[in-house]
Structure 1
Amino acid sequence: MITKQALGSTLFGMADILRDKVEDYKAYILSLLFFKRLSDNYEWETENEIKEFEKRERRQPTERELAIIMREKHDFKIPEGCFWKDVRDASPDKKNEKLNHAVNEIADANIDRNGKAILKGVINTVRWNEPAPDGSGSKKLSPQVLTALVSYLDAVDLSNKNASVDVLGDAYEYLIKRFADENKGGTTAGQFYTPQEVVDIIVRYLKPQKGNTVYDPTCGSGGFLINAAKYCKANYNNPKAIRIFGQEDVWNTWAICNINMILHGLDARIEKGDTILDPKFTDDDNNLAVRQFDLAMANFPFSQENWTKTGQPKKDSKGKTVNKKDGSPQLEYPKEGYSDPYERLVYGTPPYSNGDFAFLQHIVASIKDNGKAGVVCPQGVLFRGQPEKTEEEDGQNRKADDEYLIRRGFLQGKIDHNGEFTEMHNIIDAIVVLPANLFYGTTIPGAILFINKNKPAHRKDKVLMVYAAKEGWYKEEANMNVLLPHDILRISTILESWGDLETAKTWIDSQKTRLKNLIQEDLDFKLLELEEYYAEDIERKTEKLAKVQKVIEDKQAKNEKPTKGDWKAVETAQNALDKLTNEKDNKINAAHEQAEKERQAIDAVEQELIAMLQDPELRKRYFAIADMEELEENEFNLNIPRYVDTFEPEEEIDLKQAIAEFKATLRQETALDSTIEELLKVFNG
């Protein structure tokens, strides 16, 4: 059986073949991978079922029985002539056409009980036979490149015989992360990938239970949903203990998510469409009421402009489009406003220029009366918008901003058109302010908003606020910041304990081993990657060294004297091999050292948290539990510095020692001045 490390690294090698050949090359790689998986597993399922039949019946199946096996014993149908081997064996000039035909036939052949083509737009999302846009008659993806891709992937058996569901699913996720890492600064990475560490924090705070329905309205490649299933596997030994639902608006990303679910062996319903304008999950009895779930997890598009899709470019008096500073057109919206047919905007209509509260209200509407949600959002959600002010208060009359009213509604309850409360109900459970530059495709500082419609009695009028953007609570890397395992432990412990020391101790005990295992898994992955990265070059240089050494050995066997050039060639080859081996060893040692630092950091954070929870002054720098009175005093502004001491204290210095060092420096300067004067006298003298 192949390991996920080896499979992931091998599969990513396809990127080297395809990179710069087509845009969004990840879709090509992931779609081809999926096609081969289905084909390899179909053949394995056939062989395995025949073996099981022979073992059970002690004879070979008849032609009729074999036909039944071929028809009924497969997860997915593959029509004749549409297998991987058919594409592989096609001539290069026919390969694009053959592959395109195969995936389209498979898409048409797999129909569920309701008549829906379950692989339509999933396996055939890529147009393999698309002509080049220059009108030359050639292919957009050249037959030579496709042939190289197929030949490369052909060497890897992707059936259950060699790649289990867990291994294949994890390798697929590894690919998705690698693609996101390649495009850290671009806009597309954030559409399909949320950092695993953030997903982990949210899933573990929400704790999916057996029988729960779990929903992600902007699911990307499905990271939240996959990890919720993994949580159930770890806790209940059954990844299918929950039912999974998601919606995604980008075609390729929707296809990637569907493939992700299938490769992980999960039964999931992933729909395509705009969640705000066209929610696909509606109530069975009322298609204008959104369906409600037990849990929701999401990382929606930050600050989406024109979320109603009703904005039109603004024109000046001459009919010319008015542009913003970044060159994009200013938009203006219909004066009659927007009416949501699904009645989700019960706390107020958000500004048309920013859809954050549209997504948040959709999520609130999509969880049951005892439902919970964990949502990644921009920090602006916590404080944008101003309350109403009178002339006596502010020197001018000012209406309350929409975003202020919505946020206040989350904290106090819904109001009617007269501004009267229809219910008093705080649904905000906890807030985690995250470091800036943590998410792919945006530098906007993010936060996690935890929503609970049925908070326990002792927390009903309270909100936990965690400040996780503190310097030293994350690792700075090129283009992005990263949360390490001990950072996850710190955040999750504060969330879990709500300041209770004994709860914190229990939680830390439950998490330390898990996090240290993750560190070891990551180390094993890195070591295997290093082995594979250097293996070919070391083998080549070892062969070269052996070759030049053999020249000397052959001459010595003939009693001939090797030349200086012969010895020099050996020395050069040996030095090249030693250099490469030392480089590899240094990287291996660095990986081990980093892993050990992270393990030690977990133990250090354990002691840090226990000490913090016993020190009232220190607690203020980590988190706060704000009650409704304090929230009202702050006019429902949830900006963390209003509640948590985010000030970074300056390092204390020993004043006596500082004065002594200053005086010593002055004495040194005086001595140097004297020396320089003496030298000048000698020079001038």
Structure 2
Amino acid sequence: MTEEHQNVQSQQQAELQKHLWAIANDLRGNMDASEFRNYILGLIFYRFLSDRVEEEAVMLLDGEGIDYQTAYDNPEYEKLLAENIIEGLGFTIKPRYLFSALVKDCQAGEFDIEKLQNAINSIQSSTIGEESQEDFQGLFDDMDLQSSRIGNSVAERTELMRKVLLNLNNISFRSSEIEIDVLGDAYEYLIGQFAASAGKKAGEFYTPQQVSKIISGVVTAGKDEIKSIYDPTMGSGSLLLTVGDKARIGHYYGQEWNSTTYNLARMNLLMHGINYSNFSVRQGDTLENDRFPDEKFDAVVANPPYSANWDNADKLTDERFRKYGKVAPKSKADLAFVTHMLYHLNDNGTMAVVLPHGVLFRGAAEGVIRKYMIEQDNVLDAVIGLPANLFFGTSIPTTILVFKKNRPQTDIFFIDASKEFEKGKNQNSLTQAHIDKILQTYEAREDVDKYAHVASLDEIKENDFNLNIPRYVDTFEPEPEIDINQVKADIEEVNQQIAKIEAELAEMEAQLVETDVDE
């Protein structure tokens, strides 16, 4: 990424944050952070969809000499326009329900909240019976415009939404101008501002960009195209999108348990120009209800919930877990997610997953599974240790595990990047230089003193398949040798200075006594 590119991103983030804060100030007196996030994000998405329809209409009417509203008023154009817009975008919005039309109503004092509700309803109803129906249904379910939390009367709710719409009108959402993950950045900013009420759950739906960049670099190493990519705990979809920034993706697949986050993920993909026909996103508990049971993917990525509870009863009959002989414990589903992901990985694919360090060394069933993956399947390719306090909601250090099938080698590459980070007030972060170093080291796959080590299978066996990173990468820095004679000389010098000062003080005290006697 060039410096100019980074500057553009920083400027856009600053502008977005300014406007989000203005909107938050309008909303936050009435509800907690997690609630008003849903309104802000829902309206951002509605604004984006409106802009896309207007852009599509301009393109379709190029050379006709009329605008979208005029064309729509003509029965000959109306149906044809709607059909063509839906074919291209998967949905359509009538001119009177466009964001720009509602803003004009706000400015003219003619806006009411029912118009906004009708606009949102029309987006979803336009997809009924279309291929895109499943991708758009329920997208706005978390934005309840009848809720008393945004006003006790229709007039109060109307006024609040009017202020929000006018604030949003000051943000650019033209796809050609956007250099940032608008929805992801909006969530990240709001979580950071209101961490007390929302931050503890942020890790459930957002992977920090710095970590996403490492994962994307790993799974796209040596590739500029990936036919299919899958995230079984996709959250907001930011991880999938970051991989898409590094390589052309044929089709995106994802599953998310939380309904609110599932809606956000679909919004995020659409906002980043991913056509509805190029993604398949499903809702459900990945471990209990695998929505892609027969699919294999060229890249698999995830930041699953750490050490989550799960129902491990009778799971040894499930093809995803059976061959390991043991299943992950009820209170720690980490390796259940790993074995699920491995089941869905193509033979020539790459998989990367972020997990707590416990998966590297915990024993019992986890030890058995870890040993099988290394000794029998030979799929673990690399272990990358990250600094502590990178994620919202947890300060623990994490690790990225990289897996590949049909590996030509049996060694495992360890990188200890835990000591190199930029310390922040609330969270630590990785600079682009830190990220580049990790990825360059991963691709070189060579020992680097106090940073990386290629561990042979014999080394792994000698450590009883314990993958704790310090066993393989020695980052110990010896204390400088102490010169005892110099220390003694320094102490003597200090004592002499103290004696000198004490003598001077005694002399000053004697002079004061003499002065008092003379008086």
| TM-score (structure 1 length as normaliser) | 0.65
Q: 1:128-207 residue pairs with structure 2 within 5 A?
A: 128-132=145-149, 138=153, 142-156=157-171, 158=173, 163-165=174-176, 167=178, 170-184=181-195, 186-207=199-220
Deviations 1:524-576 (A, max 9, x none): xxxxxxxxxxxxxxxxxxxxxxxxxxxxxxxxxxxxxxxxxxxxxxxxxxxxx
Aligned-partner SS, 1:649 = coil
* Unaligned residue ranges in structure 1 (runs of 5+): 233-238, 284-290, 311-336, 386-400, 414-424, 501-612, 614-618
Residue 374 of structure 1: which of 352, 357, 360 is its match?
352
2:434 counterpart of 1:434: no
Contact preservation (8 Å) 1:214, 1:294: yes
1:270 aligned residue: 281
Q: Secondary structure at the match of 1:188?
A: helix
Residue 465 of structure 2 aligns to a residue whose secondary structure is: coil
CA contact under 8 A between 1:169 and 1:260: conserved in structure 2? Answer: no
2:113 equivalent in structure 1? 96
Distance 1:480 1:7, change over 3 A: closer
Counterpart of 2:265, as a letter, is: C
Distance change >3 Å, CA 660–CA 295, structure 1 → 2: same
The alpha carbon displacement at 1:226 in A equals: 0.7
The structure with the larger Rg is 1
> 3-state DSSP class of the match of 1:69?
helix
Alpha carbons of 1:342 and 1:121: their partners in 2 closer, same or farther (altered >3 Å)?
farther
Classify 1:150/1:230 alpha carbon distance in 2 versus 1 (closer, same or farther; 3 Å).
same
1:108 equivalent among 114, 118, 125: 125
Shift of 1:199: 1.1
* 2:144 aligns with one of 124, 127, 139: 127
> CA 1:272–1:52 in 2, change beyond 3 Å: closer, same or farther?
farther
In the alignment, what sits opposite 2:404? 452
Q: Does 1:21 align with 2:38?
A: no
Percent identical: 30
1:272 and 1:485, CA in 2 relative to 1: closer, same or farther beyond 3 A?
A: same
**1:153-180 Cα shifts (integer Å, max 9, x gaps):** 235564xxxx125617633333233123
**1:412-456 superposed Cα distances (whole Å, 9 cap, x missing partner):** 12xxxxxxxxxxx2111111111111111112221111111122x
Distance 2:226 2:471 in 1: 40
Structure 2 counterpart of 1:403: 366
CA contact (8 A) 2:53 2:85 kept: no
* Stretch deviating more after TM superposition (436-445 or 41-50): 41-50
Sort the Cα spacing of 1:165 and 1:30 in 2 relative to 1 into closer, same or farther, 3 A: farther
- Paired position in structure 2 for 1:563: none
1:566-577 correspondence to structure 2 within 5 Å: none
Equivalent positions of 1:647-658 (< 5 A) are 647-651=476-480, 658=487
Q: 1:409 to 1:165 in 2, by over 3 A?
A: farther
CA distance in 1, matches of 2:392, 2:382: 24
Quick one: distance in 2 between partners of 1:172 and 1:137?
A: 29
Q: Cα gap change, 1:157/1:482 in structure 2, threshold over 3 Å: closer, same or farther?
A: closer
Matched to 1:83, the amino acid is L
Kept in 1, the 8 Å contact 2:228–2:250? The answer is yes
Task: State the 1:51 CA deviation.
Answer: 2.3
Higher mean displacement: 23-32 or 69-78: 69-78
Deviation digits for residues 221-254 of structure 1 (CA, Å, limit 9, x no counterpart): 111111111112xxxxxx4x43211111111211
* d(CA) in 2 for partners of 1:114, 1:140: 38
* 1:444 maps to amino acid: I
Q: In the alignment, is residue 249 of structure 1 matched against residue 257 of structure 2?
A: yes
Rounded to whole Å, the distance in 1 between the matches of 2:190 and 2:465 is 40
User: What is the CA–CA distance in structure 2 between the aligned matches of 1:242 and 1:660, rounded to whole Å?
Assistant: 72
Separation in structure 1 between the aligned mates of residue 338 and residue 506 of structure 2, nearest angstrom: 74
Over residues 324-380 of structure 1, what are the superposed CA-to-partner deviations in whole Å (9 max), with x where a residue is unaligned?
Answer: xxxxxxxxxxxxx33266421132211111111111111111101222211100001
Aligned equivalent of 2:417, options 456, 462, 468: 468
1:49 to 60, 73, 98: 60
Structure 1 pair 659–184 and aligned structure 2 pair: CA distance change class (3 A) = farther
The aligned counterpart of 1:582 is none
Structure 1 residue 684 displacement after superposition: 5.0
Query: Residues 131, 684 of structure 1: CA spacing in aligned structure 2 closer, same or farther, 3 A cutoff?
Result: closer
Count residues in correspondence. 484
Paired AA for residue 164 in structure 2: L
The worse-fitting range, judged by mean Cα deviation, of 144-153 and 95-104 is 95-104
SS at match of 1:648: coil
Render the CA deviation track for 1:278-326: whole Å, top value 9, x for unaligned: 111122xxxxxxx211111110000102x12x8xxxxxxxxxxxxxxxx
User: Match of 2:5?
Assistant: none
Listed one character per residue, the Cα deviations across residues 11-44 of structure 1 (whole Å, up to 9, x for unaligned) are 4232332234333222211111111222233234
Q: How do 1:259-338 and structure 2 match up within 5 A?
A: 259-266=267-274, 267-283=278-294, 291-305=295-309, 307-308=310-311, 337-338=313-314
Find the aligned partners of 2:102 and 2:350 in 1 and give their Cα distance: 47
Query: 1:132 Cα deviation (Å)?
Result: 4.8
Match in the other structure for 1:69: 81
C-alpha distance in 1 between matches for 2:440 and 2:172: 42
Cα distance change, pair 645–168 in 1 and its aligned pair in 2 (3 A): closer
Q: How does 1:633-648 map to 2 (within 5 A)?
A: 633-648=462-477
1:229 aligns with 2:232: no
Q: Which residue of 1 aligns with 2:135?
A: 118
- Alpha-carbon contact 1:247-1:273 (below 8 Å) kept: yes
Is the Cα contact below 8 Å between 2:31 and 2:149 reproduced in 1?
A: no
CA contact (8 A) 1:436 1:469 kept: yes
Name the counterpart of 2:517: none
Quick one: distance in 2 between partners of 1:684 and 1:108? 99
The answer for the alignment partner of 1:339 in structure 2 is 315
Residue 66 and residue 103 in structure 1: after superposition, are their counterparts in 2 closer, same or farther (change >3 A)? closer
Which shifted more, 270-279 or 168-177? Answer: 168-177
Report the aligned-residue RMSD.
Answer: 3.1
Cα distance, 1:179–1:426 mapped onto 2, change above 3 Å? same
- C-alpha displacement of 1:81: 5.0
Q: CA shift at 1:201, angstroms? A: 1.1
Q: 2:471 and 2:492 mapped to 1: Cα distance? A: 43
Question: Counterpart amino acid of 1:372?
Answer: T
Moved more, 403-412 or 40-49: 40-49
Relative to structure 1, the CA distance from residue 130 to residue 350 in structure 2 (aligned partners, 3 Å threshold; closer, same or farther) is same
Answer yes or no: is 1:83 the counterpart of 2:98.
yes
Structure 1 CA distance, aligned partners of 2:444 and 2:356? 25
In 2, Cα distance between equivalents of 1:447 and 1:261: 26
Query: Would the aligned equivalents of 2:257 and 2:286 in 1 still touch at CA under 8 Å?
Result: yes
Give the counterpart letter for 1:46 in structure 2.
Answer: A
| Separation in 2, partners of 1:128, 1:651 | 65
Q: Given the superposition, is the C-alpha separation of residues 356 and 221 from structure 1 closer, same or farther in structure 2, using an over 3 Å criterion?
A: same
Q: Would the alpha carbon gap of residues 623 and 108 (structure 1) be closer, same or farther in structure 2, given more than 3 Å must change?
A: same
Amino acid in the other structure paired with 2:286: T
The residue aligned with 2:3 is none
